């Protein structure tokens, strides 16, 4: 990069221009009978109405065909139109007579108030050196007579605009110009005719402007009727945004200067060597107050090498970015991983981000150490093998982060991630307890694990290792792996999940779930899985597959107000499959969770809610409809089977639950609520209303007890069947105050048993 060389820009006398902020007004000719003719002259000056001649000598203002002026006295006003026979400096106008003691005259024909409110920001020049956007305006006040007057720069009550002219010789790399800016370190420039319309910069947009072979470029902009003083020693910066380059030249006037009204003020950089690259971005300084602005793919590609260890750099997008043809290098993916970033996409989209080369933390952000917000990634392709991969970041946060890592309002869509270790559609793995994901989504994305090991693969996150917070996030992906595979998360070790969802298609082998494959100690509330399917290819072994979670592990998670709806769960030769959970260990709790209209095609230990349950806290949960189709190798004699709610409870506590799932299959060992219960299981205030069709020998509505075990309690439960026994056989358990049959209604039987009305509404459903 070239060393910055500062050059003095000469700021000489300048004119004024009006840009598109003055709209042409349509006036009717005054009615005959009260017309007056007035005479107006122009005293020679450097002012301009239509810029046409040498900027060095000023630009003359001449009368032209179609000119109109406005005359006002108080609230009364009249429009006067130029008459034929005018000369460049002398003209007659005709209009309605106006009465008053003092008069104000404006050119063009707008009111003095409108003139004072003009905003000159946002001007645009079309073409190199074009002046057609410039328009003169002037105000003459406190006249005792308006029939004969002169627009005189020396008049006491005369105001007129000015013009700032940039005459620049640019570096060879500048082939087009997008914007020219004159910037000061304080608000010294007027951007309008109001006294308080002050800014640190005067900015002119450039459209359709190419730089010629001589590298010369001219830009013109209207300035206000105030004189902007520039004291000696003031540091000014001329900034030219030219495609992928941002060129800067600084000046410090040795004597007092001013941008004057009624003059053409000239700013020159006449030597290309005087320019330095101010940055490789469209604009900005990389600070919180003035982030680097990114407009092009080349500018975005610079971010990786511009991040600084131990410092935070601020960026924002100002346009959609297409990275087609570029090999992306993840940000902050090596070293100490402490290059802070604050990246605001401002609602724009980054398309076709591609990584094909082996690289650590393959993703956009690498190790996200800071904040990423308000951006969409469309059509990303991550296929770099290796370590912790996702579209947005491979690793979220670090344990020693001084500021929390966060992703807010970020969407991934129409993308793919292929990796051999932990991978997710959004993030590969979380690495800090204070990380936040808020309103982040994965849509129509493929996540594929190709390794041979048992790694973690999820539609949103592969491995949720730390206690991060996920709020209002979703995944709609096709997820394929072997173990620890989930539609939202592959493996949850910790974290809080609120109002998150998965509608992914999930294909795995073991520990497979519609929302999460395996969880240790997560807190999940108001989350759901809504299909289409969860599939396991395991052969006559433990699939641990669930509509919501495959394996709720021993550390213990809580599930509250979570549900599974309308999904197909397929593990034709797999064991331990449940509509909500395949297997739940002691320490997990399930409160007010449900399964609705789910189809299960699975082997041993499979059930409508949980296949194998060791937990001690299932309360107010239910299975509403759906079908369980036993498949694979069935057994008839050693305490295994399938059921409408839980196939195999051991040490479980289940209260205030019900199931209405239909069970169809040529199996023995089918139970309406459970199939076989082992020691220390308690089931209270529950009912089963299951249609069981089997060519085998179902064991009963509330299944059977495993022989020679004690501590089993079945109390105040209802088996809604007049063909099957409540329990096929029992050994050592306590079975009391239950009902089996179809007399009355389930509600009437429940009420008679004293079920809690604050939980049940006695129409066979939970409140």
State percent of the chain over pLDDT 70.
Answer: 89
Mean pLDDT value of segment 103-128: 92
C-alpha dihedral (135, 139, 140, 146), degrees to nearest 10: 80
Q: Which of 74-83, 203-212, 520-529, 631-640 has the lowest mean pLDDT?
A: 631-640
3-state secondary structure 104-122: EEEECCCCHHHHHCCECCC
What is the rounded distance in angstroms from the CA atom of residue 448 to the CA atom of residue 383? 9
Cβ-Cβ contacts under 8 Å for 752 (sequence gap 6 or more):
none
What is the reported pTM? Answer: 0.72
CATH 2.160.20.110 fits 285-508, yes or no: yes
Q: Is the pLDDT of residue 326 over 90?
A: yes
pLDDT of the residue at 95: 96
State percent of the chain over pLDDT 90.
Answer: 63
pLDDT digits (tens, 9 = 90+) for 64-74: 899 999 999 99
pLDDT digits (tens, 9 = 90+) for 297-317: 989 998 988 898 888 999 999
pLDDT of the residue at 645: 97
Confidence of residue 764 (pLDDT cuts 50, 70, 90): low
- Is 312 within 8 Å of 403 (Cβ atoms)? yes
- Is 505 within 8 Å of 511 (Cβ atoms)? no
What is the rounded distance in angstroms from the CA atom of residue 638 to the CA atom of residue 676? 9
**Average predicted confidence (pLDDT) for the chain:** 87
Confidence of residue 699 (pLDDT cuts 50, 70, 90): confident
pLDDT of the residue at 49: 43
Residue with tokens 């495993």: 706
pLDDT digits (tens, 9 = 90+) for 18-45: 344 443 443 344 445 589 999 999 887 5
- Is 17 within 8 Å of 133 (Cβ atoms)? yes
Residue 25 per-residue DSSP state = P
608 CB-contact burial (10 Å; exposed 0-12 / middle 13-18 / buried 19+): buried
Cβ-Cβ contacts under 8 Å for 347 (sequence gap 6 or more):
374, 375
Max Cα separation, the chain? 121
Mean pLDDT value of segment 241-245: 79
- Is 463 within 8 Å of 431 (Cβ atoms)? no
Mean pLDDT value of segment 503-525: 97
Q: Which of 134-138, 220-224, 305-309, 546-550 has the highest mean pLDDT?
A: 546-550
pLDDT digits (tens, 9 = 90+) for 180-231: 999 998 999 999 999 999 999 999 999 999 898 899 999 999 999 999 999 9
pLDDT of the residue at 174: 85
What is the rounded distance in angstroms from the CA atom of residue 320 to the CA atom of residue 316? 11
Outline where DSSP puts E strands in 358-480. 367-368, 370-378, 381-385, 393-396, 406-413, 416-419, 423-424, 427-430, 436-438, 441-449, 457-458, 461-464, 469-471, 474-480
CATH for 161-279, options being 3.40.50, 3.30.70, 2.60.40, 1.10.3470: 2.60.40
Q: Is the pLDDT of residue 464 over 80?
A: yes
- Is 485 within 8 Å of 457 (Cβ atoms)? yes
Mean pLDDT value of segment 418-424: 92
Q: Which of 144-148, 382-386, 542-546 has the lowest mean pLDDT?
A: 382-386
Q: Which two tokens stand for residue 114?
A: 């409108």
What is the rounded distance in angstroms from the CA atom of residue 513 to the CA atom of residue 524? 14
Domain extent listing, the chain? 19-158, 161-279, 285-508, 523-767
Residue scoring higher pLDDT (419 or 26)? 419
- Is 322 within 8 Å of 349 (Cβ atoms)? no
Q: Which residues pair with 570 in a beta bridge?
A: 535, 601
């Amino acid at each position: 990069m070239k060393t910055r060389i500062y050059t003095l820009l000469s700021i000489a006398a300048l004119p004024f221009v009006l840009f598109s902020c003055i709209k042409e007004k349509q006036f009717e000719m005054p009615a005959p009978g009260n017309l007056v003719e007035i005479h107006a002259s122009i005293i020679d000056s450097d002012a301009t109405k239509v810029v046409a001649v040498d900027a060095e000598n000023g630009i003359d203002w001449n009368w032209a065909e179609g000119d109109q002026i406005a005359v006002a006295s108080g609230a009364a006003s009249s429009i006067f139109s130029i008459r034929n026979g005018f000369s460049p400096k002398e003209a007659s106008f005709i209009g309605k007579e106006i009465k008053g003691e003092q008069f104000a005259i404006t050119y063009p024909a707008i009111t003095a108030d409108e003139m004072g409110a003009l905003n000159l920001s946002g001007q645009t020049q079309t073409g190199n050196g074009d002046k057609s956007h410039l328009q003169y305006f002037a105000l003459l006040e406190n006249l005792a007579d308006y029939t004969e007057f002169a627009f005189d720069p020396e008049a006491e009550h005369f105001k007129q605009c000015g013009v700032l002219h940039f005459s620049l010789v640019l570096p060879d790399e500048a082939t087009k110009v997008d914007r020219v800016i004159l910037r000061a370190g304080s608000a010294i420039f007027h951007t309008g005719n109001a006294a308080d319309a002050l800014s640190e910069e005067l900015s002119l947009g450039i459209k359709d402007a190419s730089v010629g072979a001589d590298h010369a470029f001219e830009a013109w902009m209207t300035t206000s009727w105030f004189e902007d003083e520039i004291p000696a020693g003031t540091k000014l910066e001329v900034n030219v945004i030219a495609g992928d380059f941002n060129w800067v030249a600084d000046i410090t006037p040795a004597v007092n200067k001013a941008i004057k009204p009624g003059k053409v003020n000239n700013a020159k950089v006449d030597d290309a060597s005087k320019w330095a690259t101010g940055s490789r971005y469209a604009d900005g300084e990389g600070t919180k107050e003035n982030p680097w602005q990114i407009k092009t793919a080349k500018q975005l590609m610079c971010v990786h090498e511009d991040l600084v260890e131990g410092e935070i750099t601020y960026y924002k997008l100002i346009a959609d970015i297409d990275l087609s043809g570029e090999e992306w290098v993840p940000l902050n993916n090596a070293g100490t991983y402490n290059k802070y970033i604050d990246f605001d996409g401002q609602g724009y989209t980054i398309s076709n981000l591609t990584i094909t080369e082996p690289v650590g933390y393959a993703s956009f952000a690498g190790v996200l150490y800071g904040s990423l917000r308000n951006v969409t990634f469309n059509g990303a392709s991550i296929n770099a093998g290796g370590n912790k991969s996702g579209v947005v970041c491979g690793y979220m946060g670090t344990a020693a982060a001084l500021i929390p890592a966060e992703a807010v309002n970020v969407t991934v869509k129409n993308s793919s991630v292929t990796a051999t270790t932990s991978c997710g559609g959004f993030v590969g793995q979380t690495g800090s307890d204070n990380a936040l994901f808020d309103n982040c989504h994965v849509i129509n994305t493929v996540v594929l694990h190709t390794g041979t090991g048992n790694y973690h693969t999820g539609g949103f996150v592969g491995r949720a290792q730390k206690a991060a917070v996920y709020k209002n996030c979703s995944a709609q992906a096709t997820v394929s792996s072997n173990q620890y595979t989930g539609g939202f998360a592959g493996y949850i070790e910790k974290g809080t999940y609120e109002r998150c969802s998965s509608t992914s298609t999930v294909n795995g082998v073991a520990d497979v779930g519609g929302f999460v494959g395996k969880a240790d100690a997560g807190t999940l509330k108001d989350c759901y899985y809504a299909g289409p399917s969860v599939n396991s290819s395991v052969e006559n072994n433990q699939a641990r597959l669930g509509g919501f979670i495959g394996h709720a592990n021993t550390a213990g998670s809580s599930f509250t107000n979570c549900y599974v709806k309308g999904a197909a769960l397929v593990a034709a030769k797999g064991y331990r499959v449940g509509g909500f959970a395949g297997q739940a260990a002691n320490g997990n709790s399930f409160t007010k969770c449900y399964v609705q209209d789910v189809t299960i095609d699975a082997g041993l230990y499979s059930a409508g809610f949980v296949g194998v349950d060791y937990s001690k806290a299932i309360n107010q949960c239910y299975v509403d409809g759906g079908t369980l189709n036993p498949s694979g190798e069935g057994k008839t004699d050693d305490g295994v089977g399938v059921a409408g709610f839980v196939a195999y409870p051991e040490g479980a506590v289940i209260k205030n639950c019900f199931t209405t799932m239909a069970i169809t299959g040529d199996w023995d060992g089918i139970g309406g609520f459970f199939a076989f219960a082992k020691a220390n299981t308690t089931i209270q205030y529950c009912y089963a209303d299951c249609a069981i069709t089997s060519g085998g020998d179902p064991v009963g509505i509330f299944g059977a007890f495993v022989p020679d075990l004690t501590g089993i309690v079945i109390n105040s439960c209802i088996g809604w069947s007049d063909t099957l026994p409540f329990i096929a056989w029992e050994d050592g358990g306590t079975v009391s105050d239950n009902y089996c049959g179809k007399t009355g209604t389930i509600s009437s039987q429940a009420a008679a048993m004293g079920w809690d009305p604050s939980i049940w509404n006695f129409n066979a459903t939970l409140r």
